[in-house]
Structures are given as C-alpha cells and as structure tokens.
Amino acid sequence: MPPGAMDRLIEYFTHHTLLASAAVVVAIVVAVYEMRTRGQNVAAISPQDLIRLMNQGALLIDLRSQEQFAAGHVAGARQMTGEQILKGADTLKKYKEKVVVIYDDTGSLSASARRQLTAQGFTKAFNLRGGLAAWRSENLPLSKDPARKSQSA
C-alpha cells in the first residue's frame, strides 16, 4: 500500500460507517454463496464420472417414477422414492461408507436427496449433474431391465 493509504482508509470508514458496513456484509454474503456453490458442485458428478464410479461398484439410485424407470434407466440402478431416501439410513445402511449416486430427470431433486443422505451419515453420496437428461445428451445407453427393489439393497 502507498504511504498514508491506511490512514485514508480508516478515515473513510469513520466518515461512511453505514456504507462500509454494507460493503462488508455484501462481501460476507458473496463468500458464503461461493462456498455453498462449490460444495454442491463437488457433490455433483458428470456422466463420465458416473461411468467410472459404476465400474468401481457404486450404488445407483433412480428417483423417477416406476413408469419412467421402466421406460429406461442407467444400467444397474435401483428405483426409489423420495420417502425411501428420507429413510435411507434404514434401507441403505450397508452403503453408508460406499459410493452412492442419485439421479432424477434434471438433477434438481437428486441434489436435495444427496444432501439428505449426507445428513444421515452417508460419506460418499453424489448426484448426477443434469440428471438423466445429461446422460441422454451424451448418447449413453439406457437399460430396460426389470426394476430392482430397494428393499433388496
């Protein structure tokens, strides 16, 4: 800083307390927003990342309706409802330390479900960024094998 700059900054803060306080509050809000956004993006994976995790034995959970699931889903996925996710600690307890990837049509519902599983103690929960729409946009295959019930998880 140039000489005297600190003195001018202090003088500015003392003369414009409200404006300076507002600037500090805005800076804090922006920092918190950025940290939350980065945290959510870390938990959202691309279709290519999903393929890698599938090859490593990840559990895939499809949150779409039974009809949508039957029409086509990622191979090896299990269809579950949002209510089953809320009880995930019970139905999926053996997967708490394993990789779990959740998806829906667009990725909006699955992000919320991932946060719910994380709150229940799942340490490696992810959601598919963009949902099944992103999977389809990369021309990746869909399976139409019979639904695998979550109770057999």
Rounding to the nearest 10 degrees, give the CA dihedral for residues 48, 50, 53, 54. Answer: -110
β-pair partners for 73: 143
Average pLDDT, the chain: 84
Half-sphere exposure of residue 23: CA atoms within 13 angstroms, side-chain side: 7
- Higher per-residue pLDDT: 146 or 5: 5
pLDDT at 31: 79
Is residue 26 over pLDDT 80? yes
Average pLDDT over residues 103-114: 89
- Does residue 51 surpass a pLDDT of 70? yes
Which stretch of 5-14, 51-60, 104-113, 125-134 has the lowest confidence by average pLDDT?
Answer: 5-14
Closest CA relative to residue 114, chosen from 31, 89, 103 = 103
Predicted structure pTM score? 0.68
